[in-house]
Structure 1
């Protein structure tokens, strides 16, 4: 019989016992509590332990410092006419943090041509993603700023500021100068008196939202700006305009390298006009040659030539016993040691008075007269008249000129020095020489600043200029009488005569040193004329200098004297100075016998 199959016993099931729900809830609560404790700890860390650091960091991200520029003081002429003014403008800024990268090119394409900016440089500024504030342009006209605002570029805004303008364009640019793009004086009085004119800039710190908006109730600190002080000059706008027009015209007519005109009151030392050519427009100075940005009336030196003979005349009359009628036999050339000296024109020996020597501007006659004084006496007189010393005008880069002490003179230096060569001056120094003679031998230091204008338009006068008796009044009067002979038909400058007025003056024609050889060959000439009127009651001095005229005559009596006549005539009329009506002295040119 077969085996019975084994019987499978059913497997005993172990019942599943769920855990206690309360236990599970407790475990879950513990996990949640642990996580919450981590958050709480971090919050405690952020809000207590490290709160100061993160608060400061957030504030730095929102806080921006905005410059508050000061209103720059104005510059006016003696009558209050504006020569340099400050007008409202705008600064254009960007918040690169909120500018989307895909919008940068569109902003560059719009702003670069409008503001005259370099596109590549502008793109670089807009790409500073970590920056919240960068200036893009200063001194933008309000109408341009309104146009930019109308485009509504996110991250581009404007701020109020100021811009310098010169309402008379190039008038007096060589004296006034200009303000550069950073708002600093960069030439002329704008540079030398920047500390007075500029005032003190302020600042404001404000909070900026992530969208670039000013948070009204946020942090706001402010230091107000302090306006600059205004400056009133001694210049007179109408005289300045005439002087500048005349010198510009003559520079063009003669092909001269440059030219200057000075009008001065000899009694007060005030400079009434200081014109130079070629000039530039300070409103658009970047379009002009940088060489024109200087103040040539004090920065450029030149050899005065025969206009310097009046100083030798003063020296020989005060210290050498020479009188206007002292006779000299004057050849057209003379040799001193191994060096020849000659007059500007060939002539037979002439029997001239010292007045005649001055009227005919004889180099040889001046040398003969100077033999009566020592080199030290000549040097001391030159120094007394201001040679080799700065005038002290508040203009940058003034040169003192060149006047070596006698110990450094070579054996023959004293002779060209006597007739105005081998020494150099600036234009204001030479004008001051003639002002001293016109003022009875009293040298009044040249002045350009009438005073300053402060808060509430309060005017403060400048200190009175220094005064010094250089030569006696009698000597000054004699020299003045002799200088009237220069403008007679027998003198070198009849073209300087003004109908109805007595005019005293002196021509100058000096050689210019050629830098290539250090010699006078091929260097050109300096043509000049300096004089005053009315000669018997001097109230105005006018000095004209032309450097290297190439067309027409290069002599002072031909190139410079006509400019003197035109400017002096205008000055006499505008200053309402009538003719004195007196008769001029009879200048004895030739000696008897």
Structure 2
């Protein structure tokens, strides 16, 4: 009997242990691991699909498309459904015009259920894939950017590439700056599916519609842009320059009417171009403005009542600044001349006199107030600015050379904005490219134009404006000006600093001007880098300026 009781007790213990084990296991599954197991279950049955948002388009001022979306496709593979891998790879390579080895390299593992093969595939190629009926190969909508005007305004527009997460992202220009506005908001579909991947009728289903990105409407005028790109290209060839920029701007609003830089690139074929060409030189490259800077210093001296129109200066010869000697650009001296003639003759020694009258503190103040050494905050990605030297690094020779535009650097955009303060009567404007944003409902949001601050009083700006008119009518460019229209302008020629000294043979030639002078329709800056036909702005940049100006006069019907 004792033996039987012992056996029953052992059986009881075994059943107890088994019961406790099952209980603990159930507790582990249903309580301790509930959240993690729930997550696994959801991952297996609750399938989420991203619905890509369409990117917003970009339009010129007349609502003509500059960048729109074109139907394109993502080609993907599902390895478990591919019957003959090598045959499939060969056919993919042939249809997609890819190297077979590069396609094969994508199939490095069998663990992935989904593999992207090619992106932004055009509809014609996608149709060939559909016709081929390759098992395990699929297509998904993946729109690509299309440029109806080809490479026009490429630096201004930028392009769409992939970020580190493999998502579309805008880079450079408007695509980069307004990426958040343009990219929209992706939607998604979440639904419960069974083990075979079929939707469960009684399961949960959540659908959030994708929200298309907003459209940008620019101040850019297509005709103006075409004119400046065409003339700039011909100008580079004619004057043998390695590069150049043209900016056309409304001097009152700061709206960019046209902006071109060469050499450039085609955004639809950007991978065929050097990466250095993606940056927009008009907003990121720096140059010493040379004589175009003289009008800004002159306006400051007039504004501070340091000189007047009838103030005289004796231009009798070179000026000594310490161990340095400053001469006129052509080494001609005119004796006693009045202030307006300093601009007309583009006298370096005369500008040293004006700079001394203005004073070093005032000179630095106006340089900062005009925005040099600071970003203009134009709505384009990747704007740059050269820095001003520290205050304690300014010496007498620096103040002297700055008065005639050497020893100080600026971007073309900074320069045209500063001179626009003379054109518009004394105010510093904030430059901009986008004038309106249009949402999905067609609602238009107009962007306000911003006046940063007043730099010159109206009388001072008018006086210097007249000096610039006389510089055109009596200076080196008198034979270039259009008949019957008053043009205010100034040439510039600056040697290029290399390794601590100036290269005597390489220059940046420029011309800045606005017209009609009394109430300008536009202001324009032309810069040419290293022209070989002549180093002088009066013989390269100025003729190009007036060639463009004649077309713009006809287009805007200026009389």
Identify if the C-alpha distance between structure 1 residues 294 and 264 changes in structure 2 by more than 3 Å, giving closer, same or farther.
same
Out of 61, 80, 100, the position equivalent to 1:119 is: 100
- Aligned position for 1:288: 273
Deviation at 1:310, TM superposition (A): 0.8
Alignment CA distance shift 1:502-1:529 (3 Å):
same
Counterpart in the other structure of 2:508? 526
Give the distance between the partners of 2:195 and 2:93, measured in 1 at CA.
Answer: 25
- Give distance in 2, aligned partners of 1:451 and 1:559: 37
Closer, same or farther: CA 114–548 of 1 in aligned 2, 3 Å: farther
2: CA distance between counterparts of 1:317 and 1:59?
A: 76
Partner of residue 97, structure 1: 80
Asked if 1 retains the 8 angstrom alpha-carbon contact of 2:296 and 2:419, the reply is: no
Q: Does 1:389 align with 2:374?
A: yes
Superposed, which structure 2 residues align to 1:234-383 within 5 Å? 234-383=219-368
Structure with greater Cα Rg = 1
Which one of the candidate residues 82, 103, 125 is aligned to 1:144? 125
Q: Structure 1: 5+ residue runs without aligned partners?
A: 1-40, 579-593
Shift of 1:455: 1.8
Report the Cα distance in structure 1 between the residues aligned to 2:34 and 2:461, rounded to whole angstroms: 84
**1:203-258: CA deviations, max 9, x gaps?**
345789999x9769698654332211111111111101111111122122223222
Question: Measured at CA, do residues 62 and 408 of structure 1 come closer, stay the same or move farther in structure 2, by a change above 3 Å?
Answer: same
Distance 1:290 1:104 in 2: 36
- Cα 1:51/1:399, change in 2 over 3 Å: closer
CA change 1:332–1:134 in 2 (3 A) is farther
Aligned partners of 1:96 and 1:128 also within 8 Å: no
Q: Deviations over 1:314-360 (max 9, x none)?
A: 12212253122322221452211111112221224533221111011
Deviates more, 1:342-351 or 1:429-438: 342-351
Q: CA 1:164–1:286 in structure 2 vs 1: closer, same or farther (change >3 Å)? A: same
Question: 2:487 — aligned with what?
Answer: 503
Q: 1:545 and 2:527 equivalent?
A: yes
* CA distance in 1 between partners of 2:130 and 2:192 (Å): 21
* 2:416–2:525 Cα contact (<8 Å) kept: yes
TM-score, normalising length: structure 1: 0.83
1:495/1:448 Cα in 2 relative to 1: closer, same or farther (>3 Å)? farther
Q: 1:508 to 1:415 in 2, by over 3 A?
A: same
Task: Judge conservation of contact 2:510–2:541 (CA < 8 Å) in 1.
Answer: yes
State the Cα distance separating 1:570 from its structure 2 match.
2.0
Task: Say if 1:122 and 1:65 are closer, same or farther in 2 by CA, change over 3 A.
Answer: farther
Deviation at 1:496, TM superposition (A): 4.2
Distance 1:480 1:151, change over 3 A: same
SS at match of 2:497: coil
1:93-137 deviation per Cα after TM superposition (whole angstroms, max 9, x unaligned): 11011213xx22222222224334453342233353222222222
The 10-residue stretch of structure 1 (143-152 or 62-71) with the greater mean CA deviation from structure 2: 62-71
Once the two structures are TM-superposed, the CA of residue 67 in structure 1 deviates from its matched residue by 3.2
C-alpha separation in 2, matches of 1:161 and 1:533: 47
In structure 2, the gaps of 5 or more residues are 1-21
Whole-angstrom distance in 2 between the partners of 1:126 and 1:152: 19
After superposition, the CA RMSD in angstroms is 2.8
- The verdict on how the C-alpha distance between 1:457 and 1:111 changes in structure 2, with shifts beyond 3 A counting, is same
Superposed CA deviations along residues 177-215 of structure 1, whole A, max 9, x for unmatched, are 11115421122111121111101223345789999x976
Q: Is the 8 A contact 1:542 1:567 kept in 2?
A: no
